[in-house]
Amino acid sequence: MKNGKISIALVGAGRARMIHARNFAGSVPNAVMSAVADPVEEAAASAAAELGGCRYVTDYKELWKDDSLDAVVIATPTKYHCKITVDAAKAGKHVLCEKPMAMNVEECEQMEQAAKEHGIKLQMAFMRRFDAGFLAAKEAILAGSIGEVVMVRSNTRGPSIPKPWMYDISKSNGPLAEVNSHDIDSLRFFTESEFQSVHAIAGNYRCPDAKAEFPDFYDNVVMIGEMANGMQGMIDGAQGVRYGYDARTEILGTHGCIYLGKKNENEMVLATSDMNQQIQYVNSWKYLFKDAYLAEDLAFVNCILENSEPKVTGFDGKMAVKVVDAGNRSIREHCIVKL
């Protein structure tokens, strides 16, 4: 610890990563940002400067030499999550891991085992579980406000064209992983059940550059699921939609429905004399879930200080990866996959 605060390092200095880092640097009272690790020195140096001049390294293994360091935020490409988490656990550093947790279930189990063996906290970064609207919805469900839950539908659609490395499903696990991991976790959260079977269909509608070299790449996916408790689930995901960032959830009950998700930052809808309505969509998840990210980061620090179980565990991350694997198999083999 540094000055009585949890000392945290950031591993991976990209856009999603800096949300956590800025929170720990200025908005989480019991935390301090101590270092940044990124193999691209320019990115590491820029992030460190933005965070008040903390030190930076290009090899994350250098962090393990710092005895005052308590925890790391792992926000690298997914294929590195397992190795870095296991190394962090061996060094006695707690881990906040961005989604997707890992490339496959076996890697997730290695991460869980390392955390257990070395006594560190492993929290998955499913920030929607900390969103005020999601928590209010969960309370309404538990209070019986919509009767028994019948179906949960969740979508995430992003405006930008995928990065070229995402075209290779063997390296990215596709949009089901990169885009819909949060939706999968939302269905588990609201149904309080596991997926029993899934059926997914997908296609590439917006990325012609990927078709020749990566014919199995998809930028649009729809997946239906049957939960173990009999509830129904539906997910859709898309990349490159251009119109904005769109994340919404509906929870349908036996006598009511809950709607979650806003399209724009300021909630303003303009109705004009030509009988049209205009809504300006937000262009990034960073704005819609800003408060949820902060609540998530506060919870991570608190579970370290209180020596309590993280609110979102490695098991939650593993179950999402398991569903991604099943969904991708369903797409490849054009079949229902039982989990």
Separation CA 188–CA 295 (nearest Å): 20
Residue 283 — pLDDT band, cuts 50, 70, 90?
Answer: low
53 and 139 in one domain?
Answer: no
- pLDDT digit string (tens) for 62-118? 999 999 999 999 999 999 999 999 999 999 999 999 999 999 999 999 999 999 999
**In the numeric block, which tokens belong to residue 78?**
């997914």
140 and 97 in one domain?
Answer: no
pLDDT at 282 exceeding the cut of 80: no
Backbone angles phi, psi at 6, to 5 degrees: -70, 125
Q: Give domain status of residue 154, yes or no.
A: yes
Q: Give domain status of residue 272, yes or no.
A: yes
pLDDT at 285 exceeding the cut of 60: no
Q: Which residues pair with 35 in a beta bridge?
A: 9, 55
Q: What CATH number should be reported for the domain holding residue 246?
A: 3.30.360.10
Note the pLDDT of residue 15: 62
Q: Minimum mean pLDDT among 3-12, 71-80, 213-222, 261-270: which range?
A: 261-270
133 and 119 in one domain?
Answer: no
Structural domain harbouring 136: 129-291+319-338
Last residue of a domain, one of 125, 156, 178: 125
Q: Count how many domains the chain has.
A: 2
Q: What CATH number should be reported for the domain holding residue 12?
A: 3.40.50.720
Orientation angle between helical segments 81-90 and 105-118, nearest 10 degrees:
10
Last residue of a domain, one of 106, 125, 144: 125
> Which residues have CB under 8 Å from 214's CB, separation 6+?
167, 168, 169
41 and 157 in one domain?
Answer: no
Question: What does pLDDT average to over the chain?
Answer: 93
Q: Give domain status of residue 304, yes or no.
A: no
Q: What is the 3-state secondary structure (H, E, C) of the chain?
A: CECCEEEEEEECCCHHHHHHHHHHHHCCCCEEEEEEECCCHHHHHHHHHHCCCCEEECCHHHHHHCCCCCEEEECCCHHHHHHHHHHHHHCCCEEEECCCCCCCHHHHHHHHHHHHHHCCCEEECCHHHHCHHHHHHHHHHHCCCCCCEEEEEEEEECCCCCCHHHHCHHHHCHHHHHCCHHHHHHHHHHHCCCEEEEEEEEECCCCHHHCCCCCCCCCEEEEEEEECCCCEEEEEEECCCCCCCEEEEEEEECCEEEEECCCCCCCCEEECCCCCEEECCCCCHHHHCHHHHHHHHHHHHHHHHHCCCCCCEHHHHHHHHHHHHHHHHHHHHCCCEEC
Backbone angles phi, psi at 311, to 5 degrees: -70, -25
Note the pLDDT of residue 1: 84
Q: Give domain status of residue 309, yes or no.
A: no
170 and 92 in one domain?
Answer: no
Last residue of a domain, one of 125, 143, 159: 125
159 and 61 in one domain?
Answer: no
Backbone angles phi, psi at 239, to 5 degrees: -120, 150
For residue 223, give Cα distances in angstroms to 29, 99, 156, 334: 41, 19, 12, 12
Cβ neighbourhood burial of 3 (10 Å; 0-12, 13-18, 19+) = exposed
Q: Give domain status of residue 83, yes or no.
A: yes
Q: Give domain status of residue 298, yes or no.
A: no
Tell me what the mean pLDDT of segment 147-151 comes to: 97
222 vs 272, higher pLDDT: 222
For residue 148, give Cα distances in angstroms to 10, 33, 253, 255: 42, 44, 5, 8
Q: Give domain status of residue 305, yes or no.
A: no
pLDDT at 309 exceeding the cut of 90: yes
- pLDDT digit string (tens) for 157-201? 999 999 898 999 999 999 999 999 999 999 999 999 999 999 999
* Inter-residue contact 21 to 10 (CB < 8 Å): yes
Neighbours of 142 (CB within 10 A): 9
144 and 93 in one domain?
Answer: no
Separation CA 236–CA 179 (nearest Å): 9
Length of the chain: 339
pLDDT at 53 exceeding the cut of 90: yes
Q: Give domain status of residue 299, yes or no.
A: no
148 and 105 in one domain?
Answer: no
pLDDT at 314 exceeding the cut of 90: yes
106 and 155 in one domain?
Answer: no
78 and 15 in one domain?
Answer: yes
147 and 115 in one domain?
Answer: no
Greatest mean pLDDT among 16-30, 59-73, 252-266 lies in 59-73
183 and 63 in one domain?
Answer: no
